[in-house]
């Protein structure tokens, strides 16, 4: 079993589609190990996305991610990282495959409903960022 971090972003929470996204997560066979709703401060968003600090989208990303509540989840499944990324779909909802979360619930590249870890090391960092002390074994 593998664990990954998922975030249901402010656009999806604000549009009241978080419940439908959670249903899709469970239907896909994930086990939700941890979940909390938080509103990130700008500093927290900047810390979480620090790897992108030099990117031109960093300012808009951190502003958006601190604009309202998000649902942060630890998902568990066999091959959870790839499985979650496949279920989310491409970053740009217009390019995402039919049936993916971002295609159905995303509005734009910036407001694309969900976030997911992109690899095992990232997942460990991201999970511990929101859930310090969690047992990742």
Strands (E), the chain: 2-8, 31-38, 70-77, 114-116
Q: Which of 48, 89, 115, 116 is catalytic?
A: 115
Q: Which residue's structure tokens are 């929470």?
A: 13
Known catalytic residue at 52 = no
Residue range 47-103, pLDDT digits in tens: 999 989 999 999 999 999 999 999 999 999 999 999 999 999 999 999 999 999 999
pLDDT at 137 over 60: no
Q: Which pTM was predicted?
A: 0.91
Q: Which residue's structure tokens are 């499985």?
A: 83
Three-state secondary structure along 99-128? CCHHHHHCCCCCCCCEEECCCHHHHHHHHH
Domain 2-41+69-130 has CATH 3.30.70.141: yes
């Amino acid at each position: 079993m593998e664990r990954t971090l998922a975030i249901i972003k402010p656009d999806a929470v604000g549009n009241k589609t978080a419940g439908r996204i959670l249903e899709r997560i469970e239907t896909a066979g994930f086990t939700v190990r941890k979940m909390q709703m938080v509103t990130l401060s700008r500093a927290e968003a900047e810390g979480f996305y620090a790897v992108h600090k030099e990117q031109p989208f960093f300012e808009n990303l951190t502003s958006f991610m601190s604009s309202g509540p998000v649902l942060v989840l630890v998902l568990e499944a066999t091959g959870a990282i790839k499985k979650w990324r496949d279920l989310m779909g491409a970053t740009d909802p217009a390019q995402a495959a039919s049936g993916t979360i971002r295609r159905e619930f995303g509005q734009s590249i910036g407001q694309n409903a969900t976030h997911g870890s992109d690899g095992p090391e990232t997942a460990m960092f991201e999970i511990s960022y929101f859930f310090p002390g969690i047992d990742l074994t």
